[in-house]
């Protein structure tokens, strides 16, 4: 009996530890736009084309303004890998190839998550990304499907 209690306690302890040791489920990332963007959703391909700086206008004809964090920012890295499904260095190479051959432009880089939200909220046609917990009514969430 004592043995079984011991095992039970151990299992309980281990499971407790495993809960504690598990990394905190990260705040999911969402694609955000300025309030004037009327688009209801985006396909993964269109999203990648936008952040790859190849798709430059919304279906309404309005120019798209892309905002990103610095390539070393963990949120940017997570966005590239989990949402765009490409490595940050691939995305950077794709911008460089366009910028230095004159065939395209670079996205606008912001310093912090606060600046990202402020810029996306204030710039017509803007698109960016954020942790879900940080957003408020000043920006729209754009579902990807």
Partner 1 sequence: MTASVCCLSNNTPGRLARCALSVFLAGLLGLIGTRAQAWPEGVQLHGFASQGFLLTSDNNFFGGTDGDGSFGFGELGLNGSWQISPDLLLSLQVLSRRAGETDDGDLRMDYGFLDYSFISDADNRWGIRLGRIMNPLGLYNDTRDVAFTRPSILLPQSIYFDVNRNLALSADGVQLYGERRTDWGDFFLQLGYVYPRVDDPDFERSIFFGDALGDLESDPSWIGRLTYERDGGRFRFMVSGAQVNVGYDPGGPIDPFQAGKFRFQPLILSAQYNAERWSFTTEYAPRPVSLYSFGPFLPDTDFTGQSYYLQGTYKFAPRWEGLLRYDVLYWDTDDRDGSKFAELTGLPAHSRFSKDWTVGLRWDVTPSFMLRAEFHYIDGTGWLSELENPGRLDTDRYWNLFAILASFRF
Question: Interface with partner 1 by CB under 8 A: which residues?
Answer: 43, 45-46, 48-49, 52, 54-57, 59, 61, 63-64, 70-72, 84-87, 89-91, 93-94, 96-97, 99-106
- Least distance to partner 1 from the beta carbon of 102, Å? 3
Q: Work out the angle at residue 132's Cα, subtended by the Cα atoms of residues 129 and 136, and round it to the nearest 5 degrees.
A: 90
How would you class 60 by CB atoms within 10 Å of its CB: exposed for 0-12, middle for 13-18, buried for 19 or more?
A: exposed
Nearest CB to partner 1, comparing residues 24 and 72: 72
The angle formed by the CA atoms of residues 72, 76 and 80, to the nearest 5 degrees, is 115
CB 47 to partner 1: min, Å: 10
Measured from the CB of residue 107, what is the shortest distance to partner 1 in angstroms?
Answer: 10
């Amino acid at each position: 009996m004592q043995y079984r209690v011991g095992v039970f306690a151990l299992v309980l302890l281990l499971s407790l530890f495993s809960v504690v040791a598990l990394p905190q489920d990260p705040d999911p990332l969402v694609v955000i736009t300025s309030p004037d963007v009327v688009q209801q959703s985006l396909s993964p391909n269109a999203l990648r084309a936008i952040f790859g700086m190849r798709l430059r206008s919304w279906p309404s004809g309005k120019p798209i303004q892309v905002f990103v964090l610095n390539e070393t920012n963990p949120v940017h890295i997570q966005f590239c890998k989990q949402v765009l499904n490409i490595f940050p260095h691939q995305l950077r190479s794709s911008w460089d190839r366009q910028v230095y051959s004159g065939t395209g432009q670079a996205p606008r880089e912001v310093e912090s998550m606060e600046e990202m939200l402020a810029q996306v909220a204030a710039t017509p046609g803007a698109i960016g990304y954020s942790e879900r917990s940080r957003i408020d009514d000043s920006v729209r969430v754009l579902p990807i499907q």
